[in-house]
Structure 1
Amino acid sequence: MPHIDPASLKDLPTRIKYLRDFIEFTPADAATLNAAAAAPLTSLVLDAVYAKVFSFDITAAAFIPRHTGYEGATPAGVEELSLDHPQIKFHRNFLAGYIVKLLSSDYEKDASWEYLNKVGLMHTGVAGFAHRCSQYFISSVGVCTDWIRLPYRAKKPGLRVEYVHIGMLLGYIQDILINAILTHPALDIEAKTASVRALNKVRI
């Protein structure tokens, strides 16, 4: 039985190795994710996600305050929220970049896990992470996929989103993607199984 020192899990590479070993996230899982068609899956998710978060006042309210890195007009209230609002377009760009990263990252590189870790940390009130690009790497869906590189939030109020909302949203996104995989006419049962299992492993 391998020994895991709890204190060692404060180190990200050590924590990721433990996570990968435990859930058995393999290079084959990463290759399966990388083989996914990021552009159509991203487009499929985005409209559904914002329609869902705008359907509850408690989740819609999170999109009223000015988001870090956004300098345009902000909604005066939930009644002004729409997919066409500039701040929502700004946030959609970030989410699109996240989904593209999730499906296209090289999971053998520490930088890929550092990105996912920072996305999580920036929603816990921890300062020191940007909410915009330091360099613009434009993907096939026209979004920035190199977010969170600058110490931009260091002097900003902490961004805190309760996990109950994040967990529900991630579960909703996962459901959309799994349905897209299971109903895809060009995938056989082996490919569908591999895709669902790989996606489930990076959802946590």
Structure 2
Amino acid sequence: MERNQGFDGPLPAKLEDLTLDSPQLVYRKIFMKAWARRILTSDYSSPKTWAYMDKVGIMHTGVKSFKHRTNSKPLVVPYRDCALTLARVESILQTSILKLPEDQLLTAEKISAISAISKVIWIQNDLFARHYIDE
């Protein structure tokens, strides 16, 4: 029910009014699509990919990690929420792959795709965790 940084649209008055098509959720989905597109199509031999994924982890702790983040209010998202979101994204992607007909994607290719997605999600999770967890 809190306003997301950068969102200036209407907020629901109560939790019961929040829907998947609420303006703030649509706003967040745009960012999630951009993030997913980037991590699923990145060149993992490039240090820029790793730097981007690390900055995504940093920015959710309240530290300004991207130059475009000039707003005074920091973005602070609990690690639990980040991890649960990554788990949900992984589940959605895996389910989508498994539902593809065999004539579109062979079983062996589905297994490889699911394995690759799991690795990417776990890497992103680790790059979140390192900024939240004191060792």
Same fold per superposition (TM over 0.5): yes
Aligned to 1:93: 30
Instruction: Say if 1:69 and 1:93 are closer, same or farther in 2 by CA, change over 3 A.
Output: same
Amino acid of the structure 1 residue aligned with 2:42: S
- Within 2, Cα distance between the matches of 1:177 and 1:196? 8
Kindly name which structure, 1 or 2, has the bigger radius of gyration based on alpha carbons.
1
Tell me how far 1:93 sits from its aligned partner: 0.7
1:106 is the counterpart of 2:43: yes
Unaligned runs of 5+ in 2: 123-135
Distance 1:202 1:191 in 2: 17
Q: CA RMSD in A?
A: 1.9
Q: Structure 2: which amino acid aligns with 1:178?
A: Q
Aligned length: 120
CA apart distance, 1:95: 0.9
Question: What's the offset of the Cα at 1:76?
Answer: 2.4
Match of 1:180?
96
- Which residue does the alignment assign to 2:119? 201
Partner of 2:130: none
TM-score normalised to the size of structure 1? Answer: 0.53
CA displacement at 1:105 relative to structure 2: 1.6
The CA deviation at 1:149 is 4.4
Q: Name the structure 2 match of 1:150.
A: 68
Identify the match of residue 78 of structure 1 among 15, 27, 30.
Answer: 15
**Alpha-carbon displacement from aligned partner over 1:41-96 (angstroms, at most 9, x marks no partner):** xxxxxxxxxxxxxxxxxxxxxxx211111122223221221233222221111111
Once residues 151 and 175 of structure 1 are traced to their aligned partners in structure 2, the CA distance between those partners, rounded to angstroms, is 30
- C-alpha separation in 2, matches of 1:151 and 1:174: 27
Q: Percent identity?
A: 34
Aligned equivalents of 2:59, 2:20: Cα separation in 1: 23
What is the TM-score of this pair, normalised by structure 2?
0.76
Q: Secondary structure at the match of 1:107?
A: coil
Give the distance between the partners of 1:78 and 1:125, measured in 2 at CA.
Answer: 25
CA distance in 1, matches of 2:70, 2:82: 22
In structure 2, the CA distance between the partners of 1:89 and 1:183, relative to structure 1 (3 Å rule), is closer
